[in-house]
Copies of this chain bind each other. A is one copy, B any other.
Amino acid sequence: MIFTYQRTVRFPDTDAAGVVYFANSLSICHEAYEESLRQSGINIKTFFTHPSVAFPIVHANVDFLRPMYCGDDLMISLIPQKISVDKFNIAYEITVNEVMVAKAMTRHVCIDVNSRSKQELPDEIIFWLETNRRDAEGAERRKSREEIM
């Protein structure tokens, strides 16, 4: 199963155009990443509050297909992928009632917070990457089989 995170659009997510403010949709994707880490057994407080090792975002992109409104129930799916010894990507898809409304991607680099120099991904992140990757590949294989039959 691909990891998915359910999130209702709230009033503070919106702007005067009456829809989710574009940059807030990236924050909603980040929430999915946080929840995925938590379900992998990572302590979120330690991970995000003044850690010694961090995973800052060095690139992000997002495509908007349809507007999202206050009260919409979003499903955010997430597939992470290891890129190198010190980098990973996360691909996100946001759907409402099974219709895709946005796609996004973030790239993260592992750094030592004090020196801000790159360092190798630690074991807990390798474990999270492999577990989610395997789950995503399993889901894709099942989907292919269903399409063949």
Chain A residues in the interface with B (C-beta under 8 A):
8, 10-12, 14-19, 21-24, 26-27, 30-31, 34-35, 38, 43-45, 47-51, 54, 56-64, 67, 69-72, 106, 113, 116
Contacts and interface: CB of A to CB of B under 8 A. Distances in A.
A27 to B, nearest CB: 4
Contacts of A47: 70-71
Given A23-B12, A43-B71, A49 B18 contact: yes
B12 A48 contact: no
A45 B116 CA distance: 17
Counted per complex, copies of this chain come to: 4
A49 B31 CA distance: 23
B11 A14 contact: no
Contact of A12 (B21, B57, B63): B21
B64 A56 contact: yes
Contacts of A57: 22, 64
B16 A23 contact: no
Given A23-B24, A58-B64, A60-B61, A50 B11 contact: no
